[in-house]
Amino acid sequence: MVQKLIILSALVAAASAVAVLPGPVYPGLAGIHGLPGLPALSPLPALPALPALTKIAAPVLPAITKIAAPLAVAKVAVPEPYDPNPQYSFSYDVHDGTTGDVKNQQEVRSGDVVQGAYSLIEPDGTRRIVEYTADPVHGFNAIVRREPIAVKAVAPIAKVLAPAPLLHAPVIAKAIPAISALPALPALPGLALPGPLSPYHG
């Protein structure tokens, strides 16, 4: 904003400045030609007249309009409805065999008195059970117990003995009776064979 004011005042000063120009003759040189030892100087020709300077008005800048910021709307907090005797109860149970996540919780509230319990399986395999109460007179109180988890009895696995290695018995060759030659087949009449039949014969 200050920069704009400086520029504006410089423009106004430049527009209102008056130029002072010398007259058509140089009056200071008129008496110089009479000095001893110097040649006489002829008077200088008159300078042509300069056109009159026109004053240029400072540019008119548009007025800067300030826009007011929108007014903030005050929100009035509406009080929530008051329940002099709040009541609720809830419970949940998780038993995930794949991840081992086993836990549960139940809680009951009647007015300002809360009673509940939760349990979970700890990494060492015990179950932690927490029973708690809360009221305006005694505050929050909890009782923590730990119980071992009943381990399922697993039947012992019978040991399977590996069979004894087999001893190789001597190979006994059985004699296969020789097959006697088959009798020749009788020739069929009218059928002449060209020669021996062989799959490799061309």
Predicted pLDDT at 40: 61
41 within domain boundaries = yes
Alpha carbons 73 and 75: distance in angstroms, whole number? 6
Q: How far is CA 47 from CA 23, 31, 67, 99, in A?
A: 8, 19, 57, 109
Q: Write down the pTM of the prediction.
A: 0.36
Residue 29 lies in a domain: yes
Same domain, 35 and 91: no
* Structural domain contains residue 99: yes
pLDDT attached to residue 191:
57
Give the model's pLDDT for residue 112: 92
Among candidate residues 148, 167, 185, the one where a domain is terminated: 148
42 and 95 inside one domain: no
What pLDDT shows up at residue 44? Answer: 67
Residues of the chain with pLDDT under 70: 17-44, 53, 57, 59, 62, 68, 150-202
Whether 80 maps to a domain, the answer reads no
Identify which of 12, 6, 92 has the alpha carbon closest to the alpha carbon of residue 55.
12
Total structural domains within the chain: 2
For residues 178 and 13, what is the distance between their CA atoms, to the nearest angstrom? 142
Q: 59 and 91 share a domain?
A: no
Q: Does residue 181 lie in a domain region?
A: no
Q: What is the pLDDT of residue 22?
A: 53
- Whether residue 31 lies inside any domain: the answer is yes
In angstroms, the CA 184 to CA 54 distance is 148
- The whole-number pLDDT of residue 133 equals 96
Is residue 92 within a helix (H) or strand (E), and if so which, with residue range?
strand 87-96
So what's the pLDDT on residue 118? 95
Is the same domain home to 92 and 58? no
My answer on whether 134 and 98 are in the same domain is yes
Q: Is residue 20 part of a domain?
A: yes
Alpha-carbon distance values, 63 to 31, 60, 66, 124 (Å): 57, 9, 9, 80
Domain-embedded: residue 197: no
Structural domain range at position 56: 1-63
